[in-house]
Amino acid sequence: MTKSTIHSFWAIALFALLLNGCSMGQMVARTSVTMLDGGVEALNHEPDYELAREAIPANLKLLEGLIYKDPGNLALRLYTAQGFYGYAFGFIELDDPRRAAELYRRGYEHGREGLRRLGVDLELESASPDAIRAAVASLGADAVPLLFWTASNWAKRIDLDRTDPAMIAQLSSTAALMERVMELEPAYHHASPDLFFAVYYGSRAPMFGGDYDRSAAHFARANELNSDRLLLVDVLYAEYLARQRLDQEAFHQRLTRVLEAPAGLLPEMELANAIAKRRAAWLLEKEQEWF
């Protein structure tokens, strides 16, 4: 986001927080959504990794301030869930997994509250996968973004705490949410549901529910839908499937390809590709340790 956009966001947030009337605060929060649409799009196009890293925290606090004034605003809940996921994955997780897990938790809670307001009125963490499937079965395409970012935050939080059996037991519940996304809009956010299931099946041995062939098929579909231009597909393939298979050649080749990819490969996901390059470099530093 540009500095002018950030300053405009903060002006809106400050105005909302100073208002005495709840209804006026809600009005400001709701009229800010159009501006937020443009801000998210601009951020996705941002090629400067460090600029994005510095901009995102202030905008997350802006979003939480707006939600304080309008807690039932589903668009704000969605942006906040997406924002916490993106910030944790792109900028925090590799250096500080504990903090990233907490950020994923916060993103998950915003998504969960959004789903509750859509009628999914059950405790997701304790509900069975079948109960979750039944609860989301009536949701339509407009619920896809909240379903996706809620499941994504939840699954990443679990991924960072694999020593806790209670957390691992919830993994199939995250898939129950994402299954509904696959039914409604499988190509959502550049085939991200395919990437979710590629990691879901590729990150575990078959005796623990993994399925390497299904993982590979999801990775292949994600690459096809993105015309092989979303670098995160190769990064996640290396990090989860190639590593689980002990396939060092695929691990090295995929990550090297990412680092050698030119800028501007997928302009609407320029920041995601910049994040992929950073993650690829970090993973290659682990190659001798892991293989």
Quote the pTM value: 0.89
- Residue 7: per-residue pLDDT: 47
- Summarize the confidence of residues 131-138 as an average pLDDT: 98
* pLDDT interval class at 202 (50, 70, 90): very high
Cα gap 10→192, rounded to integer Å: 31
Closest alpha carbon to 214 in 203, 198, 228, 226 = 198
* pLDDT interval class at 193 (50, 70, 90): very high
255-278: pLDDT as tens digits: 999 999 999 999 999 999 999 999
- Summarize the confidence of residues 35-56 as an average pLDDT: 85
The helix (run of H) or strand (run of E) holding residue 190 is helix 188-202
217-244: pLDDT as tens digits: 999 999 999 999 999 999 999 999 999 9
The whole-chain average pLDDT of the chain stands at: 90
Is the model's pLDDT at 285 over the cut of 70? yes
Cα gap 106→290, rounded to integer Å: 31
For residue 210, the SS3 value is coil
